Amino acid sequence: MWGVWRFVIPILMLVTAGCKVSKIGAHLADSGAADTVVADVADVADVVADVADTSAPADTLSDDTVDALADAAEDTRVTPVCPWSDYGEGLKGGAVTWIGFDPRANGLMFAVAGGVLSRSQDSGASWERWSTRDDGFGRLAFPSDDPKGVLGTSGSGLLASSDGGVTFDVRALAGFGLRALMIHPTAPQRMFIGTQGAGIWRSDDHGDSWTPFNVGVPLMEVRSIASPRDQADVVVVGGILLNDNLGFSNDGVLLYSGNGGLSWTVAEGGIGWADDVTFCDDSTVFAAARKSVARSDDGGLTWSLVPGLAGLDVLHIAVASDCETLYAMVYTKGIYRSFDGGDTAEGPFTEGLELEPGRESANRLVIDPSDPTSLFVATYAGLLHSEDSGASWALTDSGNGVAMHTLTVSPAAPARLLGSTWGSGAWQRVDPAAVWERESPAELPRDFVYAIHADPSVADRWFIGTTSELWRTTDAGATYDAVGLQTTNVFDMAFLGSGTILAATQVSGVQRSDDGGDSWVASNTGLTPFATSAGTFIDARHLTLAAGGTLYLGTNGGGLYTSSDSGASWTAITVDQGVSRVAALEVSPGPPEVLYAVVADAGVVRSEDGGVTWTSGGSGLESLDITDLVVDAEGGALYVSTMRNGVFKSLDGEHWAPFDRFCVPVRGFDGLAILEDADGTWLVAVQSGGGVFRDKLR
């Protein structure tokens, strides 16, 4: 009998080990939404030890068998079933701050949207999320002698990647305000960095070490650096002059060096801010100027303004390799184009071009090197593409940089999800079978929305709080009307029934409507203005209505208040933990009914007696940068999102543990919501600028 079992036992052990490895794989931490996870050797060793201890008597396991198990387990790649799934289908746009082509590969380009770096391998036809960083990305550059090397500026200094931009490390210049980066195209060991107020720096060892090269450089912010392909010692710089307080002046300069930056001369001034210095051949160079486009035909020694764009406030340019095809982004007007090097120009072209209201500008303009009729412009609304030489534009799906902030679900429509964004308007997703769609009636401002507030008694009615006023829809977003509450940011609302609504505003405290939002009056009796960084006023942030009708109000600097008369008057709650700035406020249904408050710099505090006494509820939280709190009334659990350590779960409001964070980005989480649909109950979480994810709770 043993002759058979001595073969069966190792097979059973391998199956058991495989199951345990799969279980470990399903809980491994990972910084991105990876498709495949490889178990650590230490984890495999633990599995082997478990199998050896529990699967069979010790004397039936030979050393060779255990070694074979370990080798097999180490070589096994497991594909765990990720509990989180992407719930961001349909989202596109978000403030794109930089775009550029990698000249080492046809069609390869990158886009930066906040802390998200996206990549396209087909000239912008499709995009994939490529890398993320808390401190964001500035500008990228690509060394010609390293096919996987990428350098970039950031808030932490000069970044370097050796894997094509998937991961980055800080290489040098930590603490500097880096603004421009140039790797010489044919002498890639030589690099230049431009700073804000700290001059120009050069490296001759691929960026490992840097030396300031500032002879003749005025106090300025360096915006752009360029060299001709075959002349490493010729360098041209454009930028903005700074005043004594390091603020921008009204003028800029173009600098020239013929000795590799050992000394500089002001080649041109009095032209306004200078940016996007671009060589199209070894002698012809263009630059954006606030009075036209500057052109030099002697490598940057002398300059003149092109007549076709004279008097126009040019922010950004893109020039084709023929030195004749020129595109210009003109402030408050749109895109202009020239096919004779700037001698004549036509425009503006604005069809489909989304520019920020009041600041009609863009962040960057580039041409596809393989097709001069195809160009891209990075704006606050996203990455726009033109296939007809700038005549018309369409939003691409690049970046996934929609800065979604809060999520809202109405009990009257529990499968519908509403999302507010900072810079990209309001969005809704009707149900899982649909995709996100942007709320874009003509009467609704399509920019900065702090929160959306759903009426729990009417499925198709909700309110949108923008930076200046409150808007209302009664037909599920088909049309909107301004309800007359003009104040800065409506952060939260409480619906008390019979048309009575309270609104928590940033500068006007609590506002009250008794006619469904048609008219509003202040309801601040008992609330005392307090000092904030923006002035002295009542900065009200969160309203929560308990089952018995008691109202709770959280402020940003003035602590907590309660009301038992529908908000007609308020009474301050004294909290032992020193609650001042309330980041979130929720009531968990009882018994007992528990009040939870997220307090800036203190974590979570809880009260079971209506705020009379409080206890700390932050055990197990890895950081206190909590951005949102939701209560799963049916399941009894609480969830918080954090900016640095992902989502945490608690069953008692006192002890917390990380919640399924291995296969979604850990950092940058903001709004949370509990969503119910035909498939079950879900926790939905926003990673601002990085997408929307959901995890099935039951």
- Half-sphere exposure for 35 (CA within 13 Å, toward CB): 0
Claim to verify: residue 36 and residue 179 sit in the same structural domain = no
Residue 64, pLDDT above cutoff 60: no
Confidence of residue 455 (pLDDT cuts 50, 70, 90): very high
In which element (H, E) is residue 70 found?
helix 63-75
Q: How many Cα atoms occupy the beta-carbon half-sphere of 134 within 13 Å?
A: 12
Q: What is the pLDDT of residue 78?
A: 54
In this predicted model, what pLDDT tens digit does every residue of 114-132 receive, in sequence order?
A: 778 999 999 999 988 888 8
Residue bearing tokens 């008369």: 565
What's the confidence (pLDDT) of residue 289?
94
- Print the domain residue range for 7: 2-81
pLDDT at 45 over 90: no
Residue 330 lies in a domain: yes
pLDDT at 79: 52
On the 0-12 / 13-18 / 19+ scale of CB atoms within 10 A, 283 is middle
Q: What is the pLDDT of residues 324-339, one digit of tens each?
A: 999 999 999 999 999 9
CATH number of the domain bearing residue 368: 2.130.10.10
Q: Does the residue 267 lie in any domain?
A: yes
Say yes or no: 223 and 329 in one domain.
yes
Do 181 and 40 reside in the same domain of the chain? no
454 vs 356: which has the higher pLDDT: 454
- Same-domain status, 196 and 56: no
* Pairing, β 285-289 against β 594-599: unpaired
Distance of CA 255 to CAs 201, 239, 284, 609, Å? 14, 9, 15, 69
Listed residues 81, 116, 139: the one ending a domain: 81
Average pLDDT over residues 502-515: 94
201/59 same-domain check: no
- Work out the average pLDDT over 522-537: 91
How confident is residue 400, by pLDDT bands cut at 50, 70 and 90?
low
Task: Express each pLDDT in 10-33 by its tens digit.
Answer: 333 333 333 333 322 333 233 333
pLDDT in tens, 327-374: 999 999 999 999 999 999 999 999 999 887 666 788 899 999 999 999
**In this structure, how many other beta carbons lie within 10 angstroms of the beta carbon of residue 404?**
25
Q: Which two tokens stand for residue 678?
A: 């035909």
Q: Is residue 622 part of a domain?
A: no
Residues 70 and 198 in one domain: no
For the beta carbon of residue 332, count every other beta carbon within 10 angstroms.
12
Let me know if residue 58 belongs to a domain: yes
> Where among 364, 379, 395 does a domain terminate?
395
The predicted pLDDT at position 52 comes to 35
Q: Tell me: the pLDDT tens digits for 182-191?
A: 999 999 999 9
| pLDDT at position 67 | 53
**pLDDT at site 7:** 31
Is 577 inside a domain boundary?
no
* Count of structural domains, the chain: 2
Flag whether 141 is in a domain: no
Backbone φ, ψ for residue 12 (5° rounding):
-60, -40
> Does residue 287 contact residue 254 with C-beta atoms inside 8 Å?
yes
Does the residue 74 lie in any domain?
A: yes
Mean pLDDT of 395-413: 82
Task: State whether 248 and 373 are in the same domain.
Answer: yes
d(CA 278, CA 100): 13
196-205, 238-247, 309-318, 681-690: least confidently modelled range: 681-690
**Which DSSP string corresponds to 618-655?**
-BT-S-S-EEEEEE-TTT--EEEEETTTEEEEESSSSB
Q: Give residue-wise pLDDT tens across range 76-97.
A: 445 567 899 999 888 877 788 8
pLDDT in tens, 227-257: 999 999 999 999 999 998 888 998 999 999 9
Q: What average pLDDT does the structure give for the chain?
A: 84
pLDDT at 214: 96
The one-character DSSP state at 126 is S
282-305 confidence digits (pLDDT tens): 999 999 999 999 999 999 999 999
Tokens of 392: 């018309």
Whether the per-residue pLDDT at 73 is higher than 80: the answer is no
Task: For the chain, give the percent of residues with pLDDT over 70.
Answer: 86
pLDDT at 10: 34
pLDDT for 575 equals 64
Instruction: Say if residue 621's pLDDT is above 50.
Output: yes
- The whole-number average pLDDT for the span 614-636 is 86
Sorted by sequence, the CB contacts under 8 Å of residue 619 that are 6+ apart come out as: 654, 655, 656
The DSSP call for residue 309 is G
Q: What string of DSSP letters covers 508-523?
A: B-EEEESSTTSS-EE-
**Helices and strands (H and E) in the chain: how many:** 3, 60
**Residue 143, in any domain of the structure:** no
**Which one of 134-148, 336-350, 447-461 scores highest in mean pLDDT?**
336-350
- Is the pLDDT higher at 349 or at 135? 349
Whether the model pTM is above 0.85? no
- Is residue 540 within 8 A of residue 555, CB to CB? The reply is yes
Residues 257 and 376 in one domain: yes
Does residue 533 surpass a pLDDT of 60? yes
Both 352 and 227 in one domain: the answer is yes
Q: What is the pLDDT of residues 557-589, one digit of tens each?
A: 888 999 999 999 999 987 665 668 888 899 988
Q: What angle do CA 10, 13, 15 make, to 5 degrees?
A: 115
Last residue of a domain, one of 46, 81, 116: 81
| SS3 (DSSP) at 307 | helix
Nearest one of 441, 444, 448, 476 to 462, comparing CA atoms: 476
pLDDT for the residue 578: 62
Q: Are residues 231 and 375 in the same domain?
A: yes
In the DSSP assignment, the letter for residue 356 is -
Q: What is the DSSP string of 200-245?
A: EEEESSTTSS-EE--TT--SEEEEEEE--TT-TT-EEEEEEEE-TT
Residues 6+ apart with CB under 8 A from 631: 586, 587, 588, 589, 596, 637, 638, 674
Is residue 9 scored above 70 in pLDDT? no
How many percent of the chain have pLDDT more than 90? 58
Cα separation, 603 vs 653, whole angstroms = 11
Q: Which residues contact 205 (CB under 8 A, 6 or more apart)?
A: 189
pLDDT at residue 3 tops 60 = no
Best-predicted range by mean pLDDT among 28-32, 125-129, 204-208, 664-668?
Answer: 204-208
